[in-house]
Each structure stands twice: as structure tokens, then as C-alpha cells.
């Protein structure tokens, strides 16, 4: 088994090319000279010219449980079994790594499983995510974000992922028990991870709200501390991408990991073209 790596799960839907987002993410890792490779878990076709961006392209294990689903989270628990790495950082496809984060691995090695529980807005302030997190607030769930998480291949992580599998496959039943004060009518991996952490009584072992990194910039519009909010942040502030792929949102240079969240980010901005030119892909 290989030492360390990033892992991303991409399943295209009718409207969104998640594989292309994963390719873009891989390009961003290359552009920032992160020394750790990335692998892609997908059953979709990866364009030939982009395959070299990945360490491995891995089929979804145990078959595709999200076939015919729009919101494909049913396969997320399989990443523990799919990873070719001893230590894995799982990223959402709609993310860009904008700086070298090699040093984060040193911090993460102190954990068996780690979820970020504090994310930031584009101005670098801690994001107020309560608009999107009523279920967390009302039901007093730990504020975990599965968009960035880490695990080691060991008994603790395996046990955690088993619990995630159990909860995601029976989410309605678990929601009834754990989310009695406010019950969403759809499954969310963030909520699933939070319920799993409570069930295993391991919240303090898998997150640390006192540290700044590892984390990401969350671009959901209602997290940006704006008085007037458009649903899509791209309609509110400018997005500027330099030939070196430095990204400025509004007037703020972005660093760390950018979770751009809006699927039309790739079409609406020159981001893909910029990375292709920079990396000669």
C-alpha cells in the first residue's frame, strides 16, 4: 500500500461533469507542487488527456449504489475500501487546492480520522454556516464538514467508516432518532458523519475546532457575511484568475483549499483554460 494520497469520488450526473471537476482539482494540486498524488474513484470515463493527472483511476467498489440518483452520496463510505493509500485526504470534486499543503499531513498524522469543523469565507473570516446547518444547530450535532476529511487505514477508521456505511444506508431511521428537532428530508454526508461520530462517541477524537488548518474556504453564498445574498456567489463578486492560476474572489486572494460549490464555476470562468495552459495539459 502506498504511503499518502488525496482521493476524490466523481460520478457525473445529467447536469454536471464531476469528473471534469476532479480533473481540475488534480491540476490545482499539480500547479501548487503538492508532493502527494491524487487518485480518482469513478465509473465514468476520464478523458485520455487528463488521465495522467491521477495516480490511479479506481472503479467504485462493490458496484454503484447511486445509479439513477441525482444526489449521489451512497458510495461515499466506500472510499475507505477504495483508497490505495495508508493515509488519505478525501476532497470534494468542486474544490481547488491553491497552495502547497504538504505540511498539513504532519498535523493530520496525529489523528486516525479527522474532519474539519470550522470553515472560512472568501474574506478569511470564520464562515457562519448556520443558514445551511439548521439540522446541526437544532439537534446539537458536531459541526463536521466531509468536504475535507482524512483517515488512516487502521481499526479506528475502519470502525468509523462501518458506522458511516450503516447510517448512510439507513439514513431515514437514523435521522428520526438523532434529528428529532429538525429533520431534513434528504441525506447529507456531513450529517451522516456527525451522527456516526456521536454514535461512536468519538467527536473530540476526530476534529479540533481550535486549530485553523486543515480547513477550506466555503463559497456557499449565505456563508459570506453579505447583507444582500444572491444564491450563486458568482453573480455577486468578481472572480479573477491569473495566468499563474492565482485566484482572486472579489478583492481577496484565495489560499488553501477553495470549495467553489457552484457547478457553473468551471463554465463561467476561465479556470480550466488557465490550468491547462499553465500545466500544458
Partner 1 sequence: MSKGVLVIARNNKNIDYVKQAIFLAKNVSKYLNLPTSIITDNANYVTEHFDPTVFDKIISIEYDDAMNSRSFYDGGLASKSDNFKNSSRSVVYDLTPYDETLLLDSDFVINNDMFLKCFESNQDLLLYKDSCELSNTRNTKEFTYISDTGCEFYWATCVFFRKSSVNKIYFNLIKHIQDEWNHYRRLYQIQSNLFRNDFAFSIAIHIMNGFSKGNFFGEMPGKLIYITDQDILWEKQDDKMTFLVAKKDYLGEYYAISTKGTSVHVMNKFSLGRIIDEELLNEG
Pairing status of strand 145-152 against strand 113-116 = antiparallel
What minimum distance in Å lies between the beta carbon of 81 and partner 1?
Answer: 39
Q: Which residue has the cell 487546492?
A: 97
- HEC string of 192-215 equals HHHHHHHHCCCHHHHCCCCCCCCC
Which residue's CB is nearer to partner 1, number 170 or number 230?
230
The neighbour count for residue 148, using CB atoms within 10 Å, is: 21
Which residue's CB is nearer to partner 1, number 53 or number 96?
96
Which residue's CB is nearer to partner 1, number 49 or number 251?
251
| Distance in angstroms between the alpha carbons of the first and the last residue of the chain | 28
What minimum distance in Å lies between the beta carbon of 102 and partner 1?
Answer: 21
What minimum distance in Å lies between the beta carbon of 80 and partner 1?
Answer: 35
Burial-class residue 166 by CB neighbours within 10 Å (0-12, 13-18, 19+). Answer: middle
Which residue's CB is nearer to partner 1, number 32 or number 255?
255
What minimum distance in Å lies between the beta carbon of 37 and partner 1?
Answer: 29
Contact positions vs partner 1 (CB under 8 A): 123-125, 224-228, 236-237, 248, 250-253, 255
What minimum distance in Å lies between the beta carbon of 96 and partner 1?
Answer: 16
Which residue's CB is nearer to partner 1, number 100 or number 199?
100
Closest-CA residue to 111 (of 163, 167, 41, 160):
160
Q: Is there a contact between 38 and 26 (Cβ–Cβ < 8 Å)?
A: yes
Amino acid at each position: 500500500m502506498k504511503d499518502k494520497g488525496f482521493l476524490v469520488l466523481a460520478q457525473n450526473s445529467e447536469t454536471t461533469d464531476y469528473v471534469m471537476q476532479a480533473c481540475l482539482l488534480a491540476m490545482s494540486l499539480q500547479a501548487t507542487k503538492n508532493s502527494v498524488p491524487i487518485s480518482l474513484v469513478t465509473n465514468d470515463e476520464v478523458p485520455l488527456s487528463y488521465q495522467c493527472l491521477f495516480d490511479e483511476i479506481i472503479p467504485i467498489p462493490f458496484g454503484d449504489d447511486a445509479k439513477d440518483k441525482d444526489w449521489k452520496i451512497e458510495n461515499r463510505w466506500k472510499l475507505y475500501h477504495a483508497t490505495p493509500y495508508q493515509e488519505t485526504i478525501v476532497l470534494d470534486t468542486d474544490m481547488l487546492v491553491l497552495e502547497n499543503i504538504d505540511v498539513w499531513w504532519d498535523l493530520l498524522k496525529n489523528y486516525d480520522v479527522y474532519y474539519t469543523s470550522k470553515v472560512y469565507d472568501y474574506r478569511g473570516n470564520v464562515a457562519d454556516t448556520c443558514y445551511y446547518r439548521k439540522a446541526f444547530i437544532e439537534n446539537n450535532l458536531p459541526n463536521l464538514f466531509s468536504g475535507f476529511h482524512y483517515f488512516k487505514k487502521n481499526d479506528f477508521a475502519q470502525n468509523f467508516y462501518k458506522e458511516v456505511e450503516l447510517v448512510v444506508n439507513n439514513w431515514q431511521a437514523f435521522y428520526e432518532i438523532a434529528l428529532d428537532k429538525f429533520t431534513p428530508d434528504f441525506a447529507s454526508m456531513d450529517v451522516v458523519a456527525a451522527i456516526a461520530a456521536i454514535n461512536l462517541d468519538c467527536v473530540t477524537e476526530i476534529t479540533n475546532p481550535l486549530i485553523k488548518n486543515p480547513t477550506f474556504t466555503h463559497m456557499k453564498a449565505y456563508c459570506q457575511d453579505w447583507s444582500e445574498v444572491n444564491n450563486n456567489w458568482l453573480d455577486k463578486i468578481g472572480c479573477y484568475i491569473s495566468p499563474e492560476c492565482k485566484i482572486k474572489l472579489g478583492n481577496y486572494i484565495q489560499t488553501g483549499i477553495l470549495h467553489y460549490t457552484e457547478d457553473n464555476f468551471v463554465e463561467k470562468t476561465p479556470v480550466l483554460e488557465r490550468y491547462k495552459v499553465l500545466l500544458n495539459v
